[in-house]
Amino acid sequence: MTTVITITNQKGGIGKSTTAQALGAGYSLLKGKKVLLIDLDAQENLTLATGAKRGVGNVYNLLRQEKSLEEVIQHLNDRLDIIPATAQLSRADIDLNETGKEYRLKEAIAPVLDKYDYVIIDTPPALGVLTVNALTIADKVIIPAQADLFSLEAIKQLYRTITGVKSYTNPKIEIAGILLTRYNPRTVLTKELTDLISNTAKTIQAKVFSRPIREAVAIKEAQATHTDIFSYAPNSKVAGDYKALIEELN
């Protein structure tokens, strides 16, 4: 049975794309699972990090029913595929305005869903139609967050959106947890804000994943070479952090 994991938070720069790439690589390389990555962010970070081809079929074409699934799915390796993004996604809230717009992604990938063990969806830093599409198809939601006050407010806003999605388009959705990213345990402020985020998690009936994702140069180096962290630096601390996340998700 396919598990769809949406990674979302309307705050930018907190590791959504990095986490999506790490999960896709971890499930495919370490667990031997068949994985589909979907990049819904107009910034194309996941597309760039994986080395997927740009300027060909993409998720915007799919949502607009301009291209078929076969034309937009790229094979990164034997067990990992991606539907890449495009800058045109920035127009989605204007272009995708018909009745049933929240179900576009779900309907579009339905024909291939049972071919994958996991579908990992990266979302834009906004609570628009693309994020709602990603939540409408999700089984689980991971909320990356940094130990700062902006992340606290973003979590609360996102929870309201998830509650609405649960009521109207996807009753099975659940928050898998809040994932602390770019973590630096050496600062006092980080400790205090981590405690605040833990309290926020309790109010939305969610957990904070037990192991934060540390700030690491190895992540940026891996992405610069279009390589995942498990292939580039398998023994690094941050690779261990993401391995722990995968184990906790299972």
Tokens representing 157? 């806003």
Q: Given CA atoms 87, 90, 95, 101 in this order, what sign does their dihedral have?
A: positive
Task: Please answer whether residues 216 and 173 qualify as being in contact, where contact means their C-beta atoms are separated by less than 8 angstroms.
Answer: no
pLDDT confidence of residue 226? 94
Q: What are the tokens at 210?
A: 């037990």
String of DSSP letters for 140-201: EEEEEE-SSHHHHHHHHHHHHHHHHHHHHT-TT-EEEEEEE-SB-TT-HHHHHHHHHHHHHH
Average pLDDT over every residue of 124-140: 96
Per-residue pLDDT tens digits for 63-105: 999 999 999 999 999 999 999 999 999 999 999 988 899 999 9
Position 189 pLDDT exceeds 60? no
* Domain extent listing, the chain: 3-249
Q: Is the pLDDT of residue 197 over 90?
A: no
**How far from 191 is each of 150, 188, 205, CA to CA, in Å?**
16, 5, 21
The tokens describing 200, both together, are 């926020």
Q: What is the pLDDT of residue 52?
A: 96
Res. 122: pLDDT tops 90:
yes
Angle at CA of residue 40, ends 214 and 183, nearest 5° = 10
pTM score, two decimals?
A: 0.95
Q: Write down the pLDDT at residue 55.
A: 85
Name, in order, each residue with C-beta under 8 angstroms of 247's C-beta and a sequence gap of 6 or more.
none
* pLDDT for 182: 86
Q: Does domain 3-249 have CATH number 3.30.43.10?
A: no
Nearest-10 Cα torsion for 204, 206, 211, 216 = -50
Confidence tier at 188 by pLDDT (50, 70, 90)? low
For the cut 80, the answer to whether the pLDDT of residue 20 exceeds it is yes
106 vs 152, higher pLDDT:
106
Separation of alpha carbons 93 and 17, rounded Å: 21
Note the pLDDT tens digit of each residue in 139-185: 999 999 987 777 778 888 999 999 999 999 999 999 999 999 988 77
Helices H / strands E in the chain, number of each: 12, 7
Q: How many CB atoms lie within 10 A of CB 119?
A: 26
